[in-house]
Structure 1
Amino acid sequence: MSEREVVQYEVKGPIATIWINRPEVKNCVSPEVLVKLGEYGRKAEADESVRAVVFRGRGNTFCAGADLGQLVGPKLQSTNESLELAQLSAKTYDHFFNMKKPTIAAVEGYAVAGGFELMISCDFALAATTAKIGDFHIRRALFGGAGPIYRLPRYIGLRKAKELMLTGKLLSGVEATEWGLVNECAPPEEFDALIERFCEPLIDKSPFCMWITKMAVNRGMDADTDSLITLETMACNVVHHSEDAKEGVTAFLEKRKPVWKGR
């Protein structure tokens, strides 16, 4: 792993960590960063030994948003270029939201604008108590194109979503937890231990059941009641006929730990 890579990838046991490595600019997202995030996300998803994927930023800052000079500044010569970059961001972050494996945003320092979008695209978010979290686009007369309008109201409700998006206010890690944006927070000196502890109950579950459950919950957010009932019963049927389900029941009856096959 080269220190010069703008995104770094490391695997320790069943956990893959994808690091944004531009601490000199608070890990701002450039086109190169977006491409590498997508590549490493697909790599982690394809690795059967990886059971959870954590996103972090070097230098005690998660991500301070877009590199304005590259993403929305004078280097962009046309509306088409701007649209292509917005679509790349949306596609990349949507993959993390729908990835077969659980994704965790581990936030220290700033998670604003594009960094905020990355955070809310993950299944879970953990934060240091000293983190600074918010949408922030409105402060620069910009608009977030990778998740806020369709994810944020579902997490915290319409009024709170508008409060963040229309004021550009920042929340501490503690406040973000109270708002329901973050699952848990911890002081900076205890943050690594929090990540490890939070991941522990995720990594010993059936990969197949994890994927189907996550997919069903995500799809269910926008479905009507009849469609939800159909989705739930179909997912239940698929999971219950999987090899992992048979192994789970057998292991319970034989009083041993299950050995998952991921199918």
Structure 2
Amino acid sequence: MVKAKEQSIAIRKAGLGYNGKAILDDVDLEIAPGDVVCLLGQNGAGKTTLFRTMLGFIAPVHGSVTLSGREVSRLSPREIACIVSYVPQSYAMPFAYSVSDVVLFGRSVHLGLFSSPGARDRHVAAECLDLLEISHLAARPFNELSGGERQMVIIARALAQEARFMILDEPASNLDYGNQVRVIRKVRELAGRNIGILMATHHPDHAFMAASRVAVLSGGKLSHDGSPEAMLTPETLRSLYGVEVQVFDTPQNGHASRRVCAPVVE
């Protein structure tokens, strides 16, 4: 049997930063397949530093960062990409690639230096388009899509890597409300496929919609690693964002109520 730690992303007692100086200290975080960990924090709190360390772009100042039981520092970029994929806030293509080609780029981590995508690679890319319900966009130029459509395509490209984990950096930040809901629903569906997800957001409601756990970056620490219901309290949100917030339950058309939050407008 494979040990749980060998199936997870794990950061242990780590200091994260640059040039030997930690801007985040004593970081402990573990993400297993099927987890959705929602990361909240003000701008400048250190989310980018955390992501860059997990993706192997910078080394931890101290402590350990492991992907599937192996130190990230001992993994090649290709090995890292086979374990964890990354979805940025926004993405633009320099050329007029089609949507199907953009998603196919996700297969590059499985190809040799001079190899071309084969039948299986194209099949996987097509499956990812279908899963995200955007197969009808396959022939469209990526740069002509709406913001919501582009974000779905980039998630499909990350999914095509067939990595066990996915990091999403504010995937719904530039989207209208309807597209935000669609993206968050897809995040929940991907977790149901046993993909571990770390998702940064500035919207606590996204955590109530999709997350199994919430982690908060504040004051150089990663804290409050618990369920959304336990961690997203008015006190925590006031401390994090400096505004009064109400947290309450709302009925859901005959289903169990869902917790939401709203700022107090005086």
The TM-score with structure 1 as length reference comes to 0.28
Structure with a larger share of its residues in helix: 1
The TM-score with structure 2 as length reference comes to 0.28
Higher relative contact order (CA 8 A, sep 6+): 2
Structure with a larger share of its residues in strand: 2
